A and B are shown apart, each in its own frame.
Chain A
């Protein structure tokens, strides 16, 4: 365990040093969130009753999404891992007495967490100061807040487990670009990254609800604002646990078979 903690530490510190990127990210995310809200405002003006969510809840959803972008967006891949496979540097990682799956998982968690640490709070604080209903509001209830924290952690781990599948696929395809683009585009839509899932037609929602994508950012954000409450929260957590276990299981199995036929590129 200590080896992975140590890896986490060095990676975390390593990513913390990119301050300019953090400032840039903060400003971008803030404006992106603002533009999204303005767009939705135009729709709401034509008839707020047609929409499944109160505008203030939507605002909270958008701000959480922008603040924690680096935690929950699938497309936030760790390019180091792709490069190490294509260039053959993975040789060094395999020559260490560690589990490659756990090592990459840890590396990813560290990178994303350190980026989120720098970005999330300034965005949330500024967003909280905005006038109603555009601002970031307090959680719906104390229970919902606690559940938000639990589901957010689980959602983050599911995102990681899903990303692992994309990394492992590079052992077979050698160029990660294709898989990366498909995974990014699909997941952005299916996780509620473009529009929140409750805005989709009921049938579509029901199907997406069964996939791991609905267990990612969708669940914690909707719990925070109270759109999902009561027993439905527990059902969500059960599904999250199931998907986390399933994705990790598939990932480990796939990694093992990939390593059996791995070819180290270049001399």
Chain B
């Protein structure tokens, strides 16, 4: 159980204009601005849930993760995770959580990955039998057998990320924080990582909190999303609810050999190049079948597809709606 109540965090940031004169001036008098990274952040996450935490860059996602993992002290507010306050009971708290920061590495650079794993085993005092079981399982699920004896510095990003995720699960954490786990990965690695996260959540009932900019991650993994912008929680709901909000629009894509299209009320042309045209249809005004009938009247259509709004578009429209 994760409970955050009215968490606030402010950072002091030194600012100056460009140039030598400004740099000199800053030697004597620095100007600071205060950035409110988090404002009254409140939410609750139950055991075994999988939550997508989304928002634009600099919205406060990582700060929230850092507070929940005991690394950062908030200015005010309450945070209770499984009965403990992360920054007050750091050592006890972190024993029960796993963290992956997609942009950093927890593996020892110069030694084989397996050495890092064994160090982590000793640091968390994981029982040998439990460690063996977890390791075998993780090696199988993430396909690590080949790469475990390679030094971390010689792994590709995708291989390394798989090892990072395995490293954060060796001690059976109840909660897993993933801060951009798919950043920079190719399609194959992304899918492998996603499948794995889903399996961990299903089989071990691990609570997963995931931040990402990749909406396919969200679509593939999470039922619930938290949207944060400018330090505030703007939306807390399920992906399907969100889809409903955007359900009145459909995108019709056409391939055609010849002919003309005429825009009418409810149908907006988005693009038309070389026999390829895209229209947006507002289903409050015109039904999809009527729209298709209208579009095919004066043209010879060879192919057609109708899709609802993608998660990507929904998020863009959310960002626009909340002006973040």
Contacts and interface: CB of A to CB of B under 8 A. Distances in A.
B23 interface: no
Contacts of A89: 104-105
Contacts of B99: 91-92, 95
A7 B99 CA distance: 20
A163 B169 CA distance: 34
A264 B125 contact: no
Interface in B68-104: 69-73, 90-92, 94-95, 97, 99, 101, 103-104
A177 interface: no
Given A13-B111, A91-B71, A7 B123 contact: yes
Contacts of B92: 97
A3 B123 contact: yes
A260 B73 contact: yes
A263 B99 CA distance: 18
Contacts of A14: 108, 110-111
A149 interface: no
A99 interface: yes
Contact size class for A?
20 to 34
B62 A97 contact: no
B104 A91 contact: yes
Interface in B105-163: 105-106, 108, 110-111, 115-116, 118-119, 122-125
B106 A92 contact: yes
A3 B103 CA distance: 26
A156 to B, nearest CB: 24
Nearest to A90: B71
A175 interface: no
Contacts of B72: 262-264
A12 B234 CA distance: 49
A3 B118 CA distance: 10
B104 A96 contact: no
B11 interface: yes
B101 A92 contact: yes
A3 B73 contact: no
Contacts of B122: 2-3, 5-7
Contacts of B103: 266-267
B91 A98 contact: yes
A92 B123 CA distance: 13
Given A13-B111, A261-B73, A267-B62, A95 B123 contact: no
B123 A97 contact: yes
A12 B110 CA distance: 12
A82 B137 CA distance: 36
A10 interface: yes
B118 A6 contact: yes
A249 B72 CA distance: 24
Contacts of B95: 97
A17 interface: yes
A13 B111 CA distance: 9
B232 interface: no
Contacts of A7: 119, 122-123
20 contacts: A2-B125, A3-B122, A5-B122, A10-B116, A14-B110, A14-B111, A88-B104, A89-B104, A91-B66, A91-B104, A92-B101, A92-B104, A92-B106, A97-B91, A97-B123, A260-B73, A262-B72, A262-B73, A263-B11, A267-B103
Interface of B: 11, 62, 66, 69-73, 90-92, 94-95, 97, 99, 101, 103-106, 108, 110-111, 115-116, 118-119, 122-125
**A-B residue pairs, 10 tightest by C-beta:** A6-B122, A97-B95, A92-B106, A94-B71, A95-B99, A3-B123, A97-B91, A10-B119, A3-B122, A97-B94
Given A92-B99, A94-B90, A98-B123, 18 more contacts: A3-B123, A6-B118, A7-B119, A7-B123, A10-B108, A10-B118, A10-B119, A17-B110, A91-B99, A91-B104, A92-B101, A95-B69, A96-B124, A261-B73, A263-B11, A264-B72, A266-B103, A267-B103
